[in-house]
């Protein structure tokens, strides 16, 4: 449906320096799917979205929808935003304060190049207001609506023109935590039911994991990994992705030999002891690697359990967080974070055993060029 190929977008900042916002960005979004651009501030995700919308003019590359180019540097094509038939919702909902809910949703129909009859406008507006659950508020002053309702109104206004593509730029960032979580489910439901082809921009990892069919993680203008939410979280391809998406423990290690006990496995000598690990890359004896282990994938025991990857440590610190406990475990001179059920109650200073499944100990690349933006 949407294809972005080798996109480069650059612009001068306030000091006249060239900001390389998008560098060789390529991805495809199938029809009816939600694709997320995820990354820290300044990584180029919003610039990429604005380039798709036609609000930024890229330096090079191609953007096409259903095989038709809306931008191509090679062919000299640049379709203006109002000709692309894309819907867009920004961080600021830009609700017109002098209009009621119906009038806000109807606004694109009344100012567009295509003319609609009064009956057509009413039918289209009520259809989208019903889709977002606001049909009973059609006559209400738009600014008297709650934050979540205004967010849904902005979405309805973007949908009323029946866009080929929906572009969302951090649309939930202005909502409080509980409402944001509720709106995630609402947005996901609408996207699935209406089969809206959507590109979503966010810096919120939880939001991206909850909403997306596929995620592109961006850093310093580059796409560093594309995959399903589960792939991004459980199989990060480099240190930046593992560190940015969720919490993890990084362990320096040296490869000793392949592990015959499981496919794609190696035995390594890590900074906390001997481990069996899983890798998507090939290594030789003596290679240095970085091992990533998520805190929730570390099991804690008061007595030594059977099986591989059992390491003894000492409870250095613990924090009760309601549905789980965070334990800081001291192993030699290293601190390891483990996340476990509150029923585990070993006191500070006591010895405990850590057990890590080899399939959850992932070797990754230490790509220092992909660093977090300030």
Instruction: For tokens 């379709």, name the residue.
Output: 79
What residues are paired with 89 via a beta bridge?
168
Instruction: For tokens 């609609």, name the residue.
Output: 116
Query: What's the rounded Cα separation, in Å, for the pair 330 and 266?
Result: 25
Write the pLDDT tens digit of every residue in 161-214: 888 899 999 988 877 888 788 888 888 888 888 898 999 999 999 999 999 999
Write the pLDDT tens digit of every residue in 290-314: 999 999 999 999 999 999 999 999 9
Q: In this predicted structure, what is the pLDDT of residue 372?
A: 39
Q: In this predicted structure, what is the pLDDT of residue 368?
A: 52
Integer CA distances (angstroms), 217 to 133, 237, 242, 357, 362, in order: 32, 11, 11, 26, 18
Question: What is the token pair recorded at 235?
Answer: 């199989």
Is 70 exceeded by the pLDDT of residue 49?
yes
Write the pLDDT tens digit of every residue in 10-40: 988 888 888 899 999 999 999 999 999 999 9
Write the pLDDT tens digit of every residue in 122-143: 999 998 899 888 999 999 999 8
- At the fourth CATH level, the homologous superfamily of domain 2-242 is P-loop containing nucleotide triphosphate hydrolases (3.40.50.300)
Write the pLDDT tens digit of every residue in 68-116: 999 999 999 999 998 898 999 887 777 888 999 999 999 989 887 788 9
Question: What value, to the nearest 5°, has the Cα angle with vertex 51 and ends 103 and 3?
Answer: 105
The mean predicted confidence, pLDDT, of the chain is: 92
Q: In this predicted structure, what is the pLDDT of residue 155?
A: 87
Look up the CATH architecture of domain 247-364: Beta Barrel (2.40)
pTM of the model: 0.88
Domain residue extents for the chain: 2-242, 247-364
């Amino acid at each position: 449906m949407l294809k972005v190929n080798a996109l480069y977008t650059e612009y001068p900042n306030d000091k006249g320096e060239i900001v390389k916002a998008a560098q060789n960005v390529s991805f495809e979004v199938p029809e009816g799917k939600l694709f997320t651009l995820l990354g820290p501030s300044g990584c180029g995700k919003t610039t990429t979205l604005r380039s798709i919308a036609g609000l930024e003019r890229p330096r090079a590359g191609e953007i096409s929808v259903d095989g038709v180019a809306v931008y191509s540097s090679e062919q000299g094509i640049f379709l203006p935003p109002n000709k692309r038939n894309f819907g867009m919702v920004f961080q600021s909902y830009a609700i017109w304060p002098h209009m009621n809910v119906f009038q806000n949703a109807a606004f694109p129909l009344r100012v567009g190049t295509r003319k609609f009859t009064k009956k057509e406008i009413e039918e289209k507006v009520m259809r989208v207001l019903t889709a977002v659950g606001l049909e009973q508020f059609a006559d209400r002053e738009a600014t008297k609506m709650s934050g979540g309702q205004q967010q849904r109104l902005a979405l309805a206004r973007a949908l009323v023109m029946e866009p080929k593509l929906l572009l969302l730029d951090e649309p939930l960032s202005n909502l409080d935590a509980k409402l944001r979580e509720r709106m995630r489910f609402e947005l996901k439901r609408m996207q699935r039911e209406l089969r809206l082809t959507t590109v979503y921009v966010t810096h919120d990892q939880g939001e991206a994991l909850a909403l997306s069919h596929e995620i592109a993680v961006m850093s310093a203008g580059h796409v560093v990994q594309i995959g399903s939410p589960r792939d991004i979280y459980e199989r990060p391809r480099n240190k930046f992705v593992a560190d940015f998406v969720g919490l993890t423990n990084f362990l320096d290690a040296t490869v000793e030999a392949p592990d015959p006990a499981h496919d794609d496995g190696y035995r390594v000598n890590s900074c906390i002891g001997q481990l069996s690990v899983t890798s998507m890359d090939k290594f030789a004896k003596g290679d240095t690697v970085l091992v990533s282990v998520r805190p929730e994938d570390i099991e804690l025991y008061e007595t030594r359990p059977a099986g591989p990857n059992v390491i003894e440590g000492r409870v250095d610190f613990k924090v009760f967080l309601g549905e789980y406990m965070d334990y800081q475990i001291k192993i030699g001179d290293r601190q390891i974070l483990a996340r476990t059920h509150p029923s585990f109650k070993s006191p500070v200073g006591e010895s405990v055993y850590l057990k890590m499944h080899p399939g959850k100990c992932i070797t990754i690349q230490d790509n220092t060029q992909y660093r977090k933006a300030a």
